[in-house]
Amino acid sequence: MTTTQATPTVIYMEASPALKGKARKFGHNYRKMALVELQPGFVGRPKMISNRAIGVARIVECRVLHVGSTDRSEGFRVRHELRARATA
């Protein structure tokens, strides 16, 4: 007897993180990028990147990175990598 297991839905989410000190004062462009696994049957998009958010089963990966003005910056590269790994 075989059981079919549904693959979990993993989505890409992005938000602005809480910054302190000079990074906040001078307006540096940091972004919080995450792969979030949704609970089965959840329809929609979670409101925040947190394990406590409604509909979030777990956070697969989360990074806070500086997003520069060119495609060579680490933030842009990680954004494209995470979007490619998302299933939805």
pTM of the model: 0.82
Q: What domain range is 51 assigned to?
A: 10-85
pLDDT of residue 19: 76
Could you give the number of structural domains in the chain? 1
In a domain, 2, yes or no: no
Q: What is the pLDDT of residue 23?
A: 67
- The answer to whether residue 5 is domain-embedded is no
pLDDT tens for 19-72 read: 777 666 666 788 999 999 999 999 999 999 999 999 999 999 999 988 888 888
Query: Is residue 65 one of the residues assigned to a domain?
Result: yes
Q: Is residue 22 part of a domain?
A: yes
Q: Is residue 1 part of a domain?
A: no
HSE of 65, CA atoms in CB hemisphere, 13 A: 17
